[in-house]
Structure formats: structure tokens, C-alpha cells
Amino acid sequence: MRPERLTPHARDLTTRSLDWMDQQWDPEVGLLRAPEEPGGGNAPTGHLVRETGWYAVGLLARNLPARDDAEADLERARRALTRVLDHQLDAPGERFHGTWLRSPHEPRPTAESVEWRDYDPNWREFIGTTLVVVANEFPEALAGDLGPRVEAALRLAVEGSLARGVGAHYTNIALMAAFLLEDAAVRLGEPSWEAPALRLAEQVLARFRVDGTFDEYNSPTYYGIDLYALALWRRYARRPLLRDGGAEMESVLWRDTARRYHAGLRNLAGPYDRSYGMDLRHYASGIGLWVWAAVGRDLAPFPETDRPFRHAWDLALGPVVAVLGAEVPDDALAHLRGFRGERQVDQVIVREPRRVASSWVGERLLVGAEDVAGERGNLADQFHPATVHWLVDGVSGASGSGAGGLGGDGADVGWIRLVSDLTVDARAEGPSLTLTCSRHDGGDLAFAFHVRVPEAGLDGGRTARDVVVDLPFADLTTERWALPGLEVTLDTDAELVAVEPDPADDTWWLRYVARDVPADSPVRFGIALRAE
């Protein structure tokens, strides 16, 4: 694939992501260096194996002389692919057979190794599908012994994937696994692999068709991987089940995403089953890359790539997104280009145990909530069951069909998220939230609201019980928060006990406690929101 075959937006995405990756390339090691994560956090270190495979796709799509030396992009891509292949694990009978090291700096796993901590089983699907993209789009890159090495690597990856037997509910990995098995059945002459591929594809499709959604709901990073996998189904799959089913799910996924998207705030309304951040403009996300490919950089929910940004390694996926191409239904595309009016969005995620997402998309305000029916759901730090975004200043581009970006000098987005170790059922209804915690062991129950108010902050470090925190930009009491651009009114039996700065960034914690609560007695927050 030559650059002229890419759309202008896809070409721009490829160029900018390659500009960034060229700076991360380590010619001595033959891999990309891991970028530093602003503010620290759980970031990869050393060098990156998976992302180097994505870099190779970008080099092949560009296929122009590299800017740092005389080495051609084709030669660098071949070296990058060779180094990726060097880090696959060939260990028949072991749980990690066929996957890859995440970095050459981590030790090779043993029988005692712990999945996710010591190795990532999903690198089979991520890197395996990347190799299929290379084989389909750039077969000339696999001349010589590289072609047989790629086929051998795909065989190991499929063997490990079959032994693992990922479930249909693990959406992004199941989608990639079904495609990888279906492709390898023909590519490697293993017809017996087709049956498990079609079975997994049927299970994912049937599960999706119940309510038109995936288990990993509204996940900005993993929706990007879902769209990647569905584009593989749509573009390369041999069987109609995957080709047609991929196109069907891709269209529905775009429409559901568009319902919750605000082009003016350049953010998705919550809730987020899995998210690595609260503001898409400040960290790299998969969905941000796909919106970029669809409507261009200026309208995309993505940080500036010429300065440090969080989760930066995910920018490496950009060339693969560009090569596969975004196919967005026209009605969804309109929402990506400009705000299309206030709306309430309700969605059943799964029926047993029942989970329901609700969102309000207003001109200056986004509200998101998830009801898990009192069941203890995903309580990891990626799960955000109650969220708020609001426009702090400026105008939102509500009426202009092409006005996707924030208007006005100094306009920015503030946000709030609920954080608690307790199970909380949340409901968004218009510009309001209702939070209910009804399954617990009693006693003093803690809830926290993590808040970002751009360029203002809150004056913390003091106890807030029975006291008004009176600041030029914010008044905080148990029942009322007056924040720049947002008034929050709370009806609750819990009390605000502390306002604390987060030492890692410009955010703050508003901590509430409900005292001496009998076991399983409901604790509620009624939260009314008014964006100004």
C-alpha cells in the first residue's frame, strides 16, 4: 500500500504517528523505546515489542527514505519485524506458548509465572493480527526467510490461542482471536482451525445482537481495538460470517459511540467499563485514533503529539488504523463533526447479571452512569461507574455542523468521577446523577469524588466537616459545590470530610463518609448539575 492509497486524514495520521515513532526508534536494538509517562504511573519501560510491529506497518505504508539515516523504510521495517519475531515464546504445553515478551528487558516466563504480571497472553492476538496485515498489504516486505518466519510465528500464536480458549465476553481479544484462527486455517493449511474460529465468531455475534453492544462497554481504548478487529473481519476475512458480521457490528458500534460523543468537548460521556483517563484530549486512546482517521486531526479527541502525553505508546497503532480505514455510517459521522443536540442515551449492556448504562449529552455537560444491579462488578481503577464532564469556559460549537472543537479563548473541560471500593449503582437522568450503595457490611462507608477544574484547583489540605471551603473560584460544602462553570447540588446522608490535592497532577479529591450505616442499608447521593 502506497501513501496515495490512503485518505488525506489517514495519511496525516500515518505521518504524525511515524514522526513520533521515528524519534523512539533505537537502531542498535531494532525496537521502539518506551516513552516516559507524564506524572509517572504504570507505564512500560525499556523497549516495546508489540508497538514495533505497528511501526513496521507505518514504515511500509510510507516506504520513503528514513529521515535519520540512509536506511530505507523497507529495510527498517524488515529489521523491526525480525526483532519482533525474535521475542516470541516457543514453549509447547505452557500457558504462555505462542505469546510474545512485552519488552526484551522482562525475563522469559516459567511455569511459576503469573499471567498479566509476568507476561501478557494477549500479545498473541495483537502481534499475530499485525503480521496478517503485513502479509496482506505488503507481501514484498516478507521476501527471503522473513515470510517463513512469519508463518511459523502465526502457527505458534494460533496454537497458544486455541489452548487458551478465550471467551466471547472478553470482547477485544475474542474478536481478534476469531479472525486470527479463521485466517490461519487457510494461510497455514489447517482446515481444522476453521471450526473453532467460526464458533467463537458466532458466539461474539450472537452476544452482541442481544442488545447491540459489547461486554467491555464504552471503553475508549478498547473500543479502538474492537474497531481494529472488526475492520480485520470486514477487510480480510474469507467467510461471510466474519465479513458480513464484522461490517454489521462495526456500524452499530460507531452509532452507539456517536450517541455518547460530544464533538465540542471532544469527549465521550461515561460510564466507562475500562478507561485509562477521563479526558480524551489528554491521553492517547484507540477511539481517538479512529475518529482522527474519520474526520481529521483538528476534530479528533487526541492530545498534541509534539509534546509529552499520557499513554503515548498507543499512538503506535495509528498506521494500522490508517491502513485498515475507518468506515463510519453517515449519521454517526455527523456526530463526530459537530454537536447534534441534547439527548438521553440508555443502553442495556448485558442481561445476566443485568448492567445498564445511562448518559445525558447536553450542550455544555456530559453525565454518565452504570447500574450493576447491586452486583459487585469490575472495581478495578479502569472502571468509572459515574462521570461528569463540563465546559469550563467558551462555547461548545453546538450549532455549527463543522464546529467540533472547543470555542472561545481559554475554553477547557472539567470532569468528576466517583471512586469507591463499594458497589454503587448509578443512574444518569438528564443533567443529574443518582448513586445508590445498598450491598455492604455496614459501618463507616467511604466515597470519593475525583475532580479536575482546569487552571483553578481546589484549596485542600484541611478538614471540611461543618465548614465552608470559601475560595475565589469554588465554594464547597456537603450539599453544594460551586465550581467554575458548574454548580453541583447534593442530597445525601454522607458528609464531606476532606478536600485533598492529588500530588500527581492538578486534580483534587472530595471525600465523603456515611457514618454508622447498618449492613445493606442504602446510602444514596442525589446530584443535580447545572453547567453555566
pTM: 0.92
User: How many of the other CB atoms lie within 10 Å of CB of 317?
Assistant: 27
What pLDDT, on a 0 to 100 scale, did the predictor assign at position 466? 36
Q: Which residues of 107-123 are buried (b: 16+ CB within 10 A; e: fewer)?
A: eebeeeeeeeeebbbbb
Rounded to an integer, what distance in angstroms lies between the CA atom of residue 124 and that of residue 518? 48
3-state secondary structure of 435: strand
Mean pLDDT of the chain: 90
Contacts of 435 (CB under 8 A, 6+ apart): 369, 386, 418, 424, 425, 426, 447, 524, 525, 527
Contacts of 377 (CB under 8 A, 6+ apart): 355, 370, 383, 385, 423
Rounded to an integer, what distance in angstroms lies between the CA atom of residue 254 and that of residue 227? 9
pLDDT, tens digit (0-9, with 9 covering 90-100), for 348-398: 999 988 899 999 999 999 999 999 987 765 556 789 999 999 999 754 443
Are the beta carbons of 368 and 271 closer than 8 angstroms?
yes
What pLDDT, on a 0 to 100 scale, did the predictor assign at position 5? 81
What pLDDT, on a 0 to 100 scale, did the predictor assign at position 502? 82
What pLDDT, on a 0 to 100 scale, did the predictor assign at position 39? 65
List of the chain residues with pLDDT < 70: 1-4, 39-43, 64-71, 376-380, 394-410, 455-474
Contacts of 316 (CB under 8 A, 6+ apart): 17, 21, 32, 48, 51, 54, 55
What pLDDT, on a 0 to 100 scale, did the predictor assign at position 376? 63
DSSP structure string for 201-263 = HHHHHHHHHHHT--SSTT-HHHHHHHHHHHHHHHHH-SSHHHHHHHHHHHHHHHHHHHHHEET
Spans of all domains in the chain: 339-531
What pLDDT, on a 0 to 100 scale, did the predictor assign at position 465? 37
Q: CB-side exposure of 393: number of CA atoms within 13 Å?
A: 10
